[in-house]
A and B are shown apart, each in its own frame.
Chain A
Amino acid sequence: MSAVGIRIESISKRFAHRVKGEVYAVRDVNLTVQPAELLTLLGPSGCGKTTTLRMIAGFEQPDAGRVFIGEQDVTGLMANRRNIGFVFQNYALFPHLSVFENVAYGLRVQRQSEQEIAQAVGDVLALVGLQGYDRQFPNQLSGGEQQRVALARAIVIRPRVLLFDEPLSNLDAKLRVHMRGELRELQQRLHITAVYVTHDQEEAMAISDRIAVMHQGQIVQEGTAEDLYRRPDSEFVAQFIGRTNLLSGRVQSAGLGGIELEVAGRHLRLSGDAARVTGGQIVRLVVRPEVIELRPADSGDGIPGTIASRTFLGEKAEYQVRVGADLLQVTSYNPVQRGLFSVGQPVTLHFPAEGIQLLPGGPA
């Protein structure tokens, strides 16, 4: 079976809020998921990502807009007519049914023969690594095993698309990292289109082909993890994906030679797309902690600062550096060989010409 895409056309969903009256959970969202792609909806809680997913599944009906799975318009269709596989945050295993019966449930609904069911359930349990668990009950399983049953139950019916609603958030950190690798591998092996909801940016970056960042009911940016990290087009995305410093600056000149900036009373030259800014404009600089280089105080023309705190983590050291009224985060890799700075030590900060993203506006 070849994979089919998902297309969402300007869907909206309103909820009645006790204090604020009617509020939009999702507002005019457009999204296209390519066949066999794993797309993650990423955002803080309450951003509308789960509501969007539930509208794709058919658990919620949009107030406006349309949902397509493949070429079929499924808007208004109940979830049980959409042929989807849904993995819930709490797994939603049927507590009164054994592992076998949980997985067989969807096949029994389709009235398959006992022989087909036994074959299919056996295969899928083997696929998720749960051979021999047929007769166990959900409450006898660990969190990771329950997760696998939920997954097996969702994929055994050969759904057209797989939908994940924060499936790993109930697992401990180590298992979470392990399971996300397995999920990704399985999705690729089954060659199935998947939409994945999470608030964990690291998980999103690790698992996705593409990420759509949601904020206040809308998609604010979509792209690969690298796109979003390197070229965030809003402060929200810059701060939500990875750690970042946001500095204010004024463009002095922008031309073929690059962009001249004044930042914290110092002069800074960046290479970059000069067409996006004009002279005199106030801009915000997105400076990732790892691009800043720290040097001893009397070394050249960098921005002077003082080490305010230091966290030594082995392969890296994280500093907070006081520059004027601001505290900048600086990450230094391989600190053992490169030398550690101590708290209170004056340093200079060197910004590379590349690797800094400019955003328009912001307070001067």
Chain B
Amino acid sequence: MTSIAAARTEGWRRTLRDPALFATVITFLDGGQITLGNLVAILRDGNHRQAFWNSLLLAALVGLCGTGLGFLYAFAAVRANLSRAWITALDAASLLPLVSPPFTSAIAMIFSFGPRGLITYHLLGIKGFTVYGLHSTLFSETLTYFPIAYLTLKPILAAIDPNVEDMAFSLGSSRWRVFRTVTLPLTVPGLANAFLLLFAASLADFATPLILAGNSFPVLPTQAYLQITGLFDLKGGAVLSFVLLVPALVVYLLQRYWVSRKYYVTITGKVGALTTIKSLAPWARAPLLSACLLLAGVILYFYVLLFYASVVVALGANHAWTWRHYQVIFTEGLKAIRDTLAIAGAGMPLGGLYGILLGYLVAKKIFPGRQAMEIVSMINYSLPGTIVGIAYLIAFNDPPIVLTGTGLIIVACYVFRYSPTGIRATVALLQQIDPSIEEASQGLGAGSGTTFRRITLPLILPAFFAGLGVVFIRSMTAISATIFLVSINWTLITVRILENMTELSLGPAAAFSILVVVIVFVVIAAISGLLRRFRTPGALEVTSILGG
């Protein structure tokens, strides 16, 4: 690169402070010259084109199946007159995949249906069943991501006033007709949103296909990863992930400018008399619940299997009890555990603070360009992790800011990437606080500082905990972005699990996964406890610390 070209690159970098945007520019830079040649070269490769279409196909299928399952689940939860215990059970089952490392279900798939799988080989005695390919990737991703659809659809279904359905009944509609003409149309924007969320999640997931897709079904994120880690071709990886950027941005724009406008507000004035929900025919209840139970059962089975695999010598071959795998992860793997906890621990308060700070600035409309800031922070969130990871890698590889190889880059990546939950929770809470509440404080003689400290801050505290919780969970479980950022000095549990998987040491991988799930559960419980303790009866609520 000539010095002029280098200077030009540097200029570009200054203008593009956001690493993600920077990566997209890098793909077009060839010796400092903007060119489409990189892109054309990639697209000419049939293998890569195939991977592109495979990615889209997989994402679309995951979107469809996951949205279907999520709807089934949400419908059962809010429209089947279930008791509290039932709903808690459904919620718990859907929570498991959300707080696990992304390939837990993939590992369980291998254990069940792999070459020596418990179900295919041992139970059914099928020889030569290939677990690798579209079918199992789809199954595993659907199971992993359907809770997102569930969490998206549940509040929407719950918001449909049963009296509206009653009205349709009173006009002579049958149940099926009410469902078709009232309930479903009101849910359509939610379904679209859920589909897009799942589509994006699947598009970004590279861990599951890495383990389950095999050679016959290459997808883009995996290709990009292999390009960089296998062939040390940073630019090639960046170009591949740039290709991924196109559908990701389409999804993002659809969500932001189309779906968000389609939401119906069911205007019913005062909440009418409580009515029992009649949308579900009695005969349909049993099959619906059975389907949900089956799904919950599969999830539970996967986790029990994972635990079992972590305490036997070798699942499928030698089922003798042993703590060896845990000994391994607490000796050889101790560094990864320490590093992960250190990074998650550092990211947690930073992420919480960053979330409420930005949320406050956005909601209070204090500075110009806040919308741009909001969009940039959201893009950081909606882009596939592979792109973000590569972007951070490139952006902080050279002066002025060299962070590659440090723990700081991982912390920064988590804080910025997963801050939108905290930001959105803060904005949502602030929007719920009527301006008159702050005026009341002012009228009683309090200055703006006192009002913020004594009124506003306590009211947005739940958002702080939500933001902090999500950053912690993701720091423990995410891999797609940070796999490019780990180094000899700093490594992560999730990366170790992946290494274990590729080395076929499945026992330690299972033990690591169980450890992550346990830690995350303990921390979530602690945060919920804190929230309950600090939350006075009247304080506002954050709907879910995992939403979105």
Contact = CB atoms under 8 A, between A and B. Distances in A.
A57 interface: yes
Interface in B432-478: 434, 436-437, 439-447, 450, 454-455, 458-459
A96 B440 contact: no
B445 A80 contact: yes
Contacts of A157: 444-445
5 contacts: A79-B443, A86-B439, A90-B436, A95-B437, A106-B446
Interface residues of A, number: 32
A297 interface: no
A24 interface: no
Nearest to B534: A96
B267 to A, nearest CB: 19
Interface stretch (B51-59, B99-107, B125-133, B535-543): B535-543
A85 interface: yes
A343 interface: no
A150 B443 CA distance: 12
A305 interface: no
A140 B537 CA distance: 8
B436 A57 contact: no
Given A109-B446, A139-B537, A96 B434 contact: no
A92 B436 contact: yes
10 smallest beta-carbon distances between A and B, as pairs: A106-B444, A95-B538, A92-B436, A92-B440, A86-B443, A137-B537, A137-B538, A96-B539, A139-B538, A109-B445
A106 B441 CA distance: 8
A92 to B, nearest CB: 4
Given A59-B442, A80-B444, A94 B436 contact: no
Contacts of B537: 137, 139-140
A85 B441 CA distance: 11
A95 B442 contact: no
A137 B459 CA distance: 14
A88 B439 contact: yes
Contact of A95 (B447, B450, B454, B540): B540
A282 interface: no
Contacts of A85: 443
Interface of A: 57-59, 78-81, 83-86, 88-90, 92-98, 105-106, 109-110, 137-140, 153-154, 157
Contacts, number: 82
Given A96-B458, A96-B459, A97-B536, A153 B444 contact: yes
A157 B445 CA distance: 9
B540 A80 contact: no
Nearest to B433: A95
Contacts of A81: 445
**Contact-residue bracket for chain B:** 20 to 34
Interface in B398-455: 434, 436-437, 439-447, 450, 454-455
Contact of B440 (A83, A86, A139): A86
Contact of A138 (B434, B442, B454, B538): B538
A264 B538 CA distance: 63
Contacts of A58: 442-443
B443 A80 contact: yes
Interface of B: 434, 436-437, 439-447, 450, 454-455, 458-459, 536-540
Given A58-B442, A106-B445, A153-B440, 9 more contacts: A78-B447, A79-B442, A80-B444, A84-B443, A86-B443, A89-B436, A92-B437, A95-B536, A139-B537
Contacts of B436: 88-90, 92
A140 B539 CA distance: 12
B439 A94 contact: no
Contacts of A106: 444-446
Contacts of B447: 78, 80
A109 B444 CA distance: 8
Given A86-B440, A92-B439, A98 B445 contact: no
Contacts of A86: 439-440, 443
A84 B536 CA distance: 28
B270 to A, nearest CB: 12
B445 A110 contact: yes
A154 B439 CA distance: 12
Contact of A94 (B437, B442, B450): B437
A105 B440 CA distance: 10
A236 to B, nearest CB: 29
Given A59-B439, A86-B440, A92-B440, A80 B536 contact: no
Name the residue in A59, A92, A96, A110 with the highest tally of chain B Cβ atoms < 10 Å from its Cβ. A96
Name the residue in A80, A89, A153, A154 with the highest tally of chain B Cβ atoms < 10 Å from its Cβ. A80
B443 A94 contact: no
A93 B439 CA distance: 11
B445 A92 contact: no
A154 B443 CA distance: 9
Nearest to A89: B436
A95 B443 contact: no
A111 to B, nearest CB: 10
B485 to A, nearest CB: 39
Contacts of A79: 439, 442-443
B539 A95 contact: yes
A93 to B, nearest CB: 8
A61 B419 CA distance: 37
Contacts of A88: 436, 439-440
Contacts of A92: 434, 436-437, 439-440
A296 B25 CA distance: 94
A83 B538 contact: no
A50 to B, nearest CB: 11
B176 to A, nearest CB: 39
A57 B459 CA distance: 25
Contacts of B458: 96
B449 to A, nearest CB: 11
B538 A96 contact: yes
Contacts of B459: 95-96
B443 A57 contact: yes
Nearest to B459: A96
Contacts of A109: 444-446, 450
A94 B455 contact: yes
B441 A94 contact: yes
